[in-house]
Amino acid sequence: MVFIYKMANVYSALIKVFGYERGARSFIDRLDLKFPEGARILDLCCGPGVVGLKLLERIPNSTLLATDLEKNFLKATLANARERGIDESRITVGVADVTYPDVVTLTDGTKLVLPSQSFDIVSIGASMGYSKDQIASFKTMLRLLKPGGHLINLEMSTNIVGRLIGKWYSCRPLPTDVMKRTFEAEGYTLRTIPFKLRDFPTNTTRIGLVAQSRAAQAEILAGAAPEYAGGEEVTIGEA
């Protein structure tokens, strides 16, 4: 385990001071995706909640299950939620190893095996490289998505800066083309959504990857079925 992960508050303060949190939040603000109001979000390797809390803020009445290997990051996520004025009743936290993303131990000791098709969004940031079997983890994450749901990965970039920081954090994600082939084989399209200069400095270390099933995309294109059954549809991203 990386030493700084034992000091969640220090990690949380550093990514704020150096602008990485702001950059990730600005990227999520631009995602042109539709979600149902009240969406269920699973944020894996949540750290201090950068990705999950931002999605929670953007989607009205959504709820978040935030998981991490380190309990102190779960506390940091809840502290950041309080700081941002987010109603804590919308958030559940639990310990989970990204190798087995569907196996969660809640803070009261309750063990859960998350059911298939139970989340509208499964998100992760800069952490797939911690899975002992990234392809198996991705497959589980896709299985947890409801039909039409999205997997959002703010992955470590494969550029030189991303690779150096990834090395320092002992985090080595699969090459993007291997990820894309894995998703294709599962019936999903994995799109790369670039970070922009305005997401600085996060644009120097991360790439955006978003997956949705090809079946859902075809239905949406054909107008044959609503993207989501029930609930108001919410679009996040710039008009």
Ligand X SMILES: C[S@@+](CC[C@H](N)C(=O)[O-])C[C@H]1O[C@@H](n2cnc3c(N)ncnc32)[C@H](O)[C@@H]1O
Question: Is residue 190 within the footprint of ligand X (CB under 6 A)?
Answer: no
Question: Is residue 186 within the footprint of ligand X (CB under 6 A)?
Answer: no
Nearest Cα neighbor of 130 from 189, 52, 207, 67 is 67
Between residues 50 and 55, which has the closer beta carbon with respect to ligand X? Answer: 50
Is there a contact between 78 and 88 (Cβ–Cβ < 8 Å)? yes
Among 130, 138, 183, 195, binds ligand X (CB under 6 A): 130
Q: Where are the alpha helices (DSSP H) in the chain?
A: 8-17, 20-30, 50-58, 71-83, 134-144, 160-168, 176-185, 214-222
Rounded Cα distance between 114 and 222, Å, is 32
Among 26, 27, 39, 73, binds ligand X (CB under 6 A): 73
Question: Is residue 78 within the footprint of ligand X (CB under 6 A)?
Answer: no
CB 57, min distance to ligand X, A: 15
CB 130, min distance to ligand X, A: 3
CB 2, min distance to ligand X, A: 7
Question: Is residue 70 within the footprint of ligand X (CB under 6 A)?
Answer: yes
Q: Indicate the angle between helix axes 20-30 and 50-58, nearest 10 degrees.
A: 40
Q: Please name the residue that has the structure tokens 């996520």.
A: 77
Question: Is residue 55 within the footprint of ligand X (CB under 6 A)?
Answer: no
Spatial neighbors of 175 by CB under 8 A, at least 6 apart, are 158
Q: Which stretch binds ligand X (CB under 6 A): 45-53, 78-86, 176-184, 218-226?
A: 45-53
Q: Where are the alpha helices (DSSP H) in 31-70?
A: 50-58
Question: Is residue 5 within the footprint of ligand X (CB under 6 A)?
Answer: yes
Q: Please name the residue that has the structure tokens 């985090």.
A: 171
Among 154, 174, 211, 216, binds ligand X (CB under 6 A): 154
Provide the binding-site residues for ligand X, judged by CB under 6 A: 5, 45-47, 50-51, 68-70, 73, 97-98, 125-127, 130, 154, 169
